């Protein structure tokens, strides 16, 4: 469904994977990198090159507060729009449009000085009023941003002069700079942001052909370092096989995220291509509606977790790739704890727990399943696994838009599948009103306290404890963490590889001269 906008996965109609049983057992020679693919020192590149990026994630619209899907973050974040702070591909938070910042002794007032000389693509200067407007767009009642609650401690925003923004909080928020990295700064005079843009980034929108492509052209008046290419075109596909063929034939230069290990074999031994493995934050999740029976019973949730062989599922989809996780937190988050041993696969133990919960003969539930892969495949696997403990799963396949309305907004479901792409998103388990309805007062208190922490060590300790509790509660069933694999033409380098929040910085991509 929605990528960074509400923290979930793909848009409607995507993807149809070309998948065999699994990848043949072989070790692939991957070009490993922690941040970007590196250009050889003696290589020459074309500073005006057009870079074509093949993607399965076309935006639904161009407004990241309006449910645009993860494709808008991939194309626009850091490329067209910028924020006060930037989440780098390595996961660090760095100043973006902020030149200076100061924090009051009580931690309740942040003062930001903006970079001078920054202009929007329309030519209007960046002012503090634009920043105020942009933050208020994200926190507005109608906003669909999942980070809206994370910014709920903001009590007032002031713009005492054009270069100064003062943010006042009702409670300390150690994550404020991080959360502000999700707030794109837009011109307060911009119109129709669903179909146009007015950002400050290194690219401006050239053309969006719905159902086909989105072209970004270099912003020659950009305040910062100029891009190492002249144009970036996101070419959209609804079929992974067609996307792979486009790279093989030179129609695209990069595939941002390979969707099946079966696809890699055709590129790995070919010197014309580079296969790069990075780190993902995308979690495949079986989410229960913890408000309703029988999923309000922790023993039922734990029994289901023990009845599903996560390793077998991961192998059937990703072969040797991907990672098993025991809770919502991936290894790239500072508060990661290895919890894979909690409610590990054990069918007999699952049966015993069901008996203790009063369901010795099992029960039936409906699993609302988004209609794009891998969800239908995962649903069928879960159906087969739970049959072993006399639980009957009725699979209800729905579109991404139906999922958003039925599950996310109305909470009208028993259980569902979804992929969550966001970085540092354990905070959602501290919100009892979130779609899965998990409500443990201890976790709520820990997550709230972590925001008021005096330092990052204190914050990390509290969130590690919260992470452990949600695992012990089987608040959801975290099936696996996706791998992040980028494949490109060997003539192209400098692209990001980690896929945090589905962002894909294009400004450092270089193409060798022909």
| For range 356-371, the mean pLDDT | 96
Strand bridging mode 363-370 / 415-420: parallel
What is d(CA 73, CA 502) in angstroms, rounded to the nearest whole number? Answer: 6
Q: For 98-127, what is the mean pLDDT?
A: 97
Residue 82: Cβ within 10 Å count: 25
Range of 8-12, 27-31, 202-206, 451-455 with top mean pLDDT: 202-206
* CB contact burial 364-394 (16+ within 10 A = b; e otherwise): ebebbbbebbbbeebbebbbebbeebebebe
| pLDDT at residue 31 greater than cutoff 60 | no
User: How many whole angstroms separate alpha carbon 76 and alpha carbon 90?
Assistant: 18
DSSP 97-123: SEEEEEE-TTS-EEEEEEPTT-B-TTS
Question: What pLDDT score does 43 carry?
Answer: 62
- Residue 78 near residue 227, CB atoms below 8 Å: no
pLDDT class of 27 with cuts at 50, 70, 90: very low
Residue 372: pLDDT band by 50, 70, 90 thresholds? confident
Please report the pLDDT score of residue 514 as a whole number: 63
- Per-residue pLDDT for 125 more than 80? yes
Can you read off the two tokens belonging to residue 180?
């502000």
Which residue is listed with tokens 């919960």?
357
User: Is residue 212 predicted with pLDDT exceeding 90?
Assistant: yes
Say what the pLDDT of residue 68 is: 67
CA 254 – CA 493 distance, rounded (Å):
9
| pTM, 2 dp | 0.76
Find tokens 């062989």 and name the residue. 309
Can you give the pLDDT at residue 92?
86
Number of residues assigned to the chain: 514
Neighbours of 287 (CB within 10 A): 23
- Give the residue carrying structure tokens 């929108």: 205
The structural domains of the chain, ordered by start, are: 34-80+201-278+484-514 (3.40.190.10), 84-200 (3.90.76.10), 283-481 (3.10.105.10)
For residues 124-138, average pLDDT: 97
Q: Is the pLDDT of residue 30 over 90?
A: no
Share of the chain above pLDDT 90, in %: 70
The whole-number pLDDT of residue 149 equals 81
| H helix runs in 115-239, sequence order | 128-139, 176-180
Q: Can you give the pLDDT at residue 261?
A: 72
CA 87: distance to chain centroid? Answer: 12
CA distance 433 to 290: 11
Q: Which residue has the tokens 């370092």?
A: 225
Average pLDDT, the chain: 88
pLDDT beyond 80 at 209: yes
**Helix (H), strand (E), coil (C) string for 449-465:** HHHCCCCHHHHHHHHHH
Minimum mean pLDDT range among 9-13, 17-21, 54-58, 176-180: 17-21
- Highest mean pLDDT among 30-34, 38-42, 357-361 belongs to 357-361
For residue 22, the Cα-to-chain-centroid distance in whole angstroms is 25
Q: How confident is the model at residue 39 (pLDDT cuts 50, 70, 90)?
A: very low
List, for residues 441-500, the tens digit of each pLDDT value.
Answer: 999 999 999 999 988 999 999 999 999 999 999 999 999 999 888 999 999 999 998 877
Distance of alpha carbon 53 from alpha carbon 240, whole angstroms: 13
Q: What is the mean pLDDT of residues 355-373?
A: 95
In this predicted structure, the answer to whether residue 4 has a pLDDT above a threshold of 90 is no
| DSSP label of 150 | G
DSSP per-residue string spanning 330-362 = -TTSTT----TTTT-S-HHHHHHHHHHTT-TT-
pLDDT tens, position by position, 180-190: 998 999 999 99
How far apart, in whole angstroms, are the C-alpha atoms of residue 280 and residue 268? 20
The predicted pLDDT at position 498 comes to: 85
Q: Measure the CA–CA gap between 364 and 362, rounded to whole angstroms.
A: 7
Task: Centre a 10 Å sphere on the Cβ of residue 292 and count the other Cβ atoms it contains.
Answer: 15
Q: What is the Cα–Cα distance from 328 to 205, expressed in whole angstroms?
A: 35
Query: Closest Cα partner for 238 from 79, 73, 18?
Result: 18
Among 28-32, 119-123, 124-128, 431-435, the range scoring the smallest mean pLDDT is 28-32
What is the strand order of the sheet 154-161 is part of? 98-103, 109-114, 164-169, 154-161
What confidence score (pLDDT) does residue 15 get? 33
What sign has the CA pseudo-torsion 502, 503, 508, 510?
positive
Nearest alpha-carbon partner for 232 in 509, 514, 512, 513 = 509
Taking only the tens place, the pLDDT of each residue in 263-275 is 788 898 899 999 9
Is the pLDDT score of 164 beyond 50?
Answer: yes
Angle at which helix 375-387 crosses helix 310-318, to 10 degrees, equals: 150
Please choose, from the candidates 196, 253, 222, the residue with its C-alpha nearest in 3D space to the C-alpha of residue 79: 222
């Amino acid at each position: 469904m929605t990528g960074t906008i509400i923290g979930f996965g793909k848009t409607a109609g995507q993807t149809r994977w070309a998948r065999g049983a699994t990848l043949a057992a072989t070790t692939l020679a991957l070009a490993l990198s922690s941040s970007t693919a590196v250009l050889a020192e003696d290589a020459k590149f074309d500073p005006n090159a057009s870079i074509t990026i093949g993607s399965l994630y076309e935006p639904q619209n161009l407004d990241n507060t309006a449910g645009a899907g993860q494709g808008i973050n991939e194309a626009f974040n850091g490329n067209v729009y910028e924020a006060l702070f930037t989440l780098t591909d390595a996961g660090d938070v760095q100043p973006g449009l902020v030149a200076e910042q100061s924090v009051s002794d009580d931690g309740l007032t942040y003062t930001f000085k903006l970079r001078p000389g920054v202009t929007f693509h329309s030519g209007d200067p960046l002012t503090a009023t634009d920043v105020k407007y942009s933050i208020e767009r994200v926190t507005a009642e109608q906003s669909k941003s999942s980070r809206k609650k994370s910014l709920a401690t903001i009590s007032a925003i002031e713009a005492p002069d054009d270069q100064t923004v003062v943010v006042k909080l009702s409670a300390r928020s150690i994550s404020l700079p991080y959360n502000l990295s999700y707030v794109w700064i837009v011109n307060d005079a911009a119109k129709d942001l669903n179909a146009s843009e007015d950002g400050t980034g290194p690219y401006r929108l050239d053309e969006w052909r719905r159902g086909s492509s989105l072209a970004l052209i270099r912003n020659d008046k950009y305040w910062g370092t100029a891009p190492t290419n002249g144009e970036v075109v996101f070419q959209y596909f609804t079929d992974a096989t067609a996307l792979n063929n486009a790279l093989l034939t030179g129609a695209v230069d990069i595939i941002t995220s390979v969707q099946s290990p079966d696809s890699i074999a055709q590129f790995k031994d070919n010197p014309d291509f580079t296969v790069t493995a990075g780190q993902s934050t995308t979690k495949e999740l079986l989410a229960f509606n913890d408000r309703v029976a029988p999923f309000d019973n922790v023993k039922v949730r734990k029994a289901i977790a023990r009845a599903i062989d996560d390793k077998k599922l991961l192998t059937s989809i990703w072969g040797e790739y991907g990672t098993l996780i025991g809770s919502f937190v991936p290894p790239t988050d500072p508060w990661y704890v290895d919890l894979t041993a909690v409610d590990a696969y054990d069918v007999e133990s699952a049966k015993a727990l069901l008996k203790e919960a009063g369901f010795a003969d099992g029960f039936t539930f409906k699993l609302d399943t988004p209609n794009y892969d891998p969800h239908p495949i995962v649903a069928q696997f879960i159906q087969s696994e739970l049959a072993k403990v006399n639980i009957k799963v009725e699979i209800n396949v729905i579109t991404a838009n139906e999922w958003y309305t039925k599950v996310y907004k109305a909470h009208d479901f028993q259980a569902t599948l979804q992929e969550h792409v966001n970085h540092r998103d354990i905070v959602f388990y501290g919100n009892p009103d979130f779609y899965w309805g998990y409500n443990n007062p201890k976790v709520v208190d820990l997550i709230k306290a972590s925001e008021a922490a005096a330092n990052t060590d204190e914050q990390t300790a509290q969130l590690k404890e919260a992470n452990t509790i949600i695992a012990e509660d089987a608040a959801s069933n975290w099936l696996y963490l996706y791998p992040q694999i980028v494949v490109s033409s060997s003539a192209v380098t400098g692209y990001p590889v980690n896929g945090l929040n589905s962002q894909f910085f294009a400004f450092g991509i270089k193409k060798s001269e022909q």
